[in-house]
Structure 1
Amino acid sequence: MNTISAEESYKPSPLRSFKTKGFPTYWFAMMAQMAGLNMQMVSRAWLIYELSASYTILGAMTVAHALPMLFTSMFGGVLADRFLKKRLMQSGQILLAITSLFVAVCLSLDLINLSTGAGVSYVMMASVFQGTIMGFTMPSRQAVIPEIVGRENLTNAIALNQSGMNLNRLAAPGVAGLMIALLGITTVYYFMTFLYILATIIISFLPITKSLNPHAKEKSPMRDLIDGFKYIFNETVIFYLLLATLFSVVLSMPYMGLMPIFAKDIQVVIASDFAWMNSTAIISSFNLPELLTYSSFRLGCLMSISGIGALIGSLIVTILSDSNRGKLFIYSVLALGITLTIFSFTRSFIVGCVSMMFVGFFQSLRLSLSNALVQSYVSDEFRGRVMSVYMMEFGMTSFSTFLVATMAGVIDTTNVFAPGFGIQLTMGIAAVLLIPGALIFCFGKRSLLNLG
């Protein structure tokens, strides 16, 4: 009987991490925080583009967010290895609430004014501050997971965490876009402030977790930092996993920061093209054809549809065993390149929506598997610092977004091509490069394929 019970306990269960004390609290806290971050991602990009109507300024805003994240994330990893991760997360959530409230107040006082275009500097300041906060706290947010669930449930817990993020990607952008259209951008920022405060309250109920690295404070922080880099370069598996993640992040993630351009200038909708939607009484009551003429609503739709695909992808990972994770990671990068290429070059909103669902699906597979693989193979002693480098790579997205936006701006100043063609071309090239890159990792570094 005991043997049967033990075997049954190791059968893959999609929700097994929720049986671990503390993980439900962590998950719901992250749900509240990620709802705010996903709404902010849409709202901030929409706001800065409405204020400036400039590709370059939109790209510059992403750099303003990423630059401090790059400089602070490694120190955030050192902090994660030395201090209580719960306290670091709480502090970060409080500061995020203050940042969101700052923008809301500026909007209320007309210091940020859509009519005059004033207030770009305030939005930039908030982006810089938020990037700094994220750099210090993201490593803790990731490194605390194995302390809560243990290594045996690590892949499942990461996938469930990713599922929660994707639920937010499904709902939060659409809610943000709809709120902007119906209630205004100011209301959205006040609501995001509430979500960050809610996350702070929930995380206060998280049990104090025992550090997996009890000797963290025996060396100086700078020594810890140097040792972290040495560890990464000496551990071949970790090094190539981080390299493959960096490659895929830099080429595949810029679309998220440039979606307002696709929604406003490229995948334009005329209400009469969707008049057929009003043939159904329930749908006609929402007047969707008219709502789709608002770029903010189309932006929310694209982001939410991407979230549907991402949610499906992360749920699949929750039921996967630990075998063949390396293969699935590389193959997901390859498929992501193909689907993102289709999205980049279409001017049809319908085709954009369909391709964006697959982009979300393969992006989610890539994110969940790369995170799980890194956390599975890293030593507990260096977990916080390695995860800080892993999260720091996502800061590089903003630099690639800025490069893509700047090059696109130069192309579009010729006025030879259709509006937004520069963005389509530069982002399309980045997406195409994912395909040979994935094949190089597939055949050139076969050790990644063999990772379980």
Structure 2
Amino acid sequence: MVGAWFARTFKALEYRDYRVLWIGTSLAFLAFMMSSVVQAVVAFDLTGRNGAVGFVSLGMGLATFLVSPFGGVVADRFPKRRMLFAGQTIIGLNFAAVGLLIIFDLITIPLLALSTLVMGAVFSFIGPARQAWIGELLPPKDLPNGIALQQVGMTLTRVIGPFIAAGLIGLSFVGTGGTYLFMAGLFVFVIGSLAMLPPSRAVARGGRSFREDMALGMRHIRERKRLMLAVVTFIGVIMAGFSYFVVLPGFLENELGRSSKDMALLMAAGAASGFVVSLAVAGAAGSRHAWMLMVAGGVVLGLSLILLAAAPNFGVAMLAMLAIGSGTGAFQVLNNAIVMREAEPAYHGRVMSLTMLAWGVNGLVAYPFGALADRIGERETLGVMAAGVLAIIGAAWAASVPLRPGAPAIEIDAETLPRPAGGD
């Protein structure tokens, strides 16, 4: 039984090229997860306000919201490896620049927000490209598992990242500036992993314009009701419930009497449980139970935010974060797998770029949530987030009933399948 579970859960890692991409992607996510902690610490230490933490996140949110639809079209048109080479080089240099600004005491909130703006713009291109490339490296039957394992890797970095960030920040000879330089160094290995992969392919454009390709992607989502419901649900839940990190520094200091740096411990606790749950559901990503399990994850997230809001001490807050991690892990892994399963391969880049709008919207609402916490309090703001998540999940479940969600075979139109049009 254990052997069968192991084979089913890690099936996609049997493919060498996917395995190399998975390792490089996990290292990139490790840097991203570290950055979410260190940038929050820098912003809060500079100002002492929740709003500043949200304002810094606004840069990435704004860029992702505005650019990601274009990034999806580009990902479906051009070689993915070339895009990842360029984009990940820029992100590595961006981290290095921020680290040097901190070391020389030149960092400001606007400059920190500018760095997240750059990162959001670049990620809007490389995120859909990476997801679409998985569709090239794996056969359709193993694609849901490959998408799920990518989310498992991402969740694992959420466990490791905060601990590494907290440890490095706590070292006087490293600090926040040195932590940014460490994150930049990780991208040397990320870029090296790309050199080990074969050239990716572009998709024949068929004489269509950039705008026409974007419109086709939108029409593809509208015509597939389950796909559209999954995308809209993802955007809504991410927008309402995934901004809790914005109020964590203030929640710790103002409500629990702890240092804002203890945010790393809470984030790591949530990531640890998220990793366990993500791994547990990865094998079910292509099953008929995927939708029900995804909804259950959303419900757990909403209820856990209520528990966090009511936490009387740090111990209860840690328990709440364990539950939050479980909910977010299940929801994100299964939603991404459902989206890729329901979309035709030729549209993977464009479809995933629209799910990335969720992170753009998340960044845009981070600042209002931070400002709301400054006005009404961190506990009350967490309650607002919880109510939003539960309302969206409830509406999604009701809308899914007549659609009879399951795991049907994908109907693929041969005319829309990717065809070689030159690699990189």
TM-score norm. by structure 1 comes to 0.85
2:401 matches 1:446: yes
User: Which of 67, 82, 85 is the matching residue for 2:80?
Assistant: 85
- Quick one: distance in 2 between partners of 1:23 and 1:85? 13
**Which of 408, 411, 419 lines up with 2:373 in the alignment?**
408
How far 1:352 sits from its partner (Å)?
Answer: 0.8
Residues 325-368 of structure 1 show CA distances to partners (whole Å, capped at 9, x for unaligned) of: 11111121112111121112314111111111111111011001
Question: Shift of residue 207 of structure 1?
Answer: 2.0
Indicate whether 1:198 and 2:189 are aligned.
Answer: yes
Which residue of the partner structure matches residue 147 of structure 1? Answer: 136
Q: Report if aligned partners of 1:76, 1:139 keep a CA contact under 8 Å in 2.
A: yes
Report Cα offsets for 1:282-318 as digits up to 9, x if no partner: xxxxxxxxxxxx431x111111111111101110122
Tell me which residue corresponds to 1:53: 48
Q: Indicate if the aligned counterparts of 1:64 and 1:127 stay in contact, CA closer than 8 A.
A: yes
The one-letter code of the counterpart of 1:303 is: M
Structure 1 residue 135 and structure 2 residue 124: aligned?
Answer: yes
Taking the aligned partners of 2:282 and 2:65, their CA distance within structure 1 comes to 30
Q: Is the 8 A contact 1:77 1:140 kept in 2?
A: yes
Please tell me whether the aligned partners of residues 175 and 300 of structure 1 are also in contact (alpha carbons under 8 angstroms): no
Deviation at 1:12, TM superposition (A): 5.4
CA distance in 2, matches of 1:263, 1:203: 40
User: Does the CA contact (< 8 Å) of 1:155 and 1:322 recur in 2?
Assistant: no
Q: Residues 3-47 of structure 1, C-alpha deviation per residue, up to 9 Å, x if partnerless?
A: xxxxx9999522211111301110110121111111111001110
Q: 1:169 — aligned with what?
A: 158
- Give matches, 1:39-438, under 5 Å: 39-112=34-107, 119-182=108-171, 183-210=174-201, 214-216=203-205, 218-269=207-258, 294-296=259-261, 298-320=262-284, 322-411=287-376, 422-438=377-393
Range 425-434 or range 168-177, more displaced = 425-434
Aligned CA-pair RMSD: 2.0
Aligned residues: 402
What per-residue deviation string (whole Å, max 9, x for no partner) do you get for residues 386-425 of structure 1? 11001112211122222211122223xxxxxxxxxx1220
* Residue ranges of structure 2 left out of the alignment (5+ in a row): 408-424
| Structure 1: unaligned runs, 5 residues or longer | 1-7, 113-118, 270-293, 412-421
Tell me how far apart the structure 2 counterparts of residues 132 and 451 of structure 1 sit (CA, whole Å): 35
CA displacement 1:161-188 (0-9 Å, x = unmatched): 1111111100111110121122311110
Counterpart of 2:103, as a letter, is S
What amino acid maps onto 1:428 in structure 2? G
Measured in 2, the distance between the counterparts of 1:57 and 1:150 equals 45
Amino acid at match of 1:197: V
Structure 1 equivalent of residue 415 of structure 2:
none
Task: Please name the residue that 2:418 is paired with.
Answer: none
Query: Which residue does the alignment assign to 1:279?
Result: none
**CA 1:437/1:121 → structure 2, altered by over 3 Å: closer, same or farther?**
closer
Q: What code does the residue aligned with 1:377 have? A: E
Given that residues 246 and 370 in structure 2 are in contact (C-alpha distance below 8 angstroms), is that contact kept between their aligned partners in structure 1? no
Identify the range of structure 1 (134-143 vs 33-42) with the bigger mean alpha-carbon deviation. 134-143
Amino acid at match of 2:97: F
AA at the equivalent of 1:107? I
Distance 1:301 1:22 in 2: 34
Letter in 1 for 2:110: S
Quick one: structure 1 residues 353 and 15, their matched pair in 2 at CA, closer, same or farther if it must change by over 3 Å? same
8 Å contact from structure 2 (residues 247, 373) kept in 1:
no
Deviation at 1:444, TM superposition (A): 3.8
| CA distance, structure 1, for counterparts of residue 345 and residue 381 of structure 2 | 40
- Note the C-alpha offset of 1:448: 5.6
Q: 1:448 & 1:335 partners in 2: Cα distance?
A: 23
- Within 2, Cα distance between the matches of 1:433 and 1:295? 26
Q: In the alignment, is the contact (CA less than 8 A) between 1:442 and 1:449 conserved in 2?
A: no
Cα distance, 1:197–1:343 mapped onto 2, change above 3 Å:
same
In 2, are the aligned partners of 1:21 and 1:148 still within 8 Å (CA)? no
What is the one-letter code of the residue matched to 1:122? Answer: L
Among all aligned residue pairs of Structure 1 and Structure 2, give the percentage whose two residues are the same amino acid: 23
Alpha-carbon deviation of 1:430?
1.7
Q: Which is greater in Rg?
A: 1
Q: Matched residues in 1 for 2:152 and 2:217: separation?
A: 29
Q: TM-score of the superposition, structure 2-length normalised?
A: 0.90
Contact 2:64–2:124 at 8 Å: present in 1 too?
Answer: yes
Partners of 1:386 and 1:407 in 2: CA distance: 32
1:158/1:372 contact within 8 Å kept: yes
Secondary structure at the residue paired with 2:8? coil
Q: Runs of 4 or more off by more than 4 Å in structure 1?
A: 8-12
Q: Residue 414 of structure 2 aligns with which residue?
A: none
The residue type equivalent to 2:125 in the other structure is F
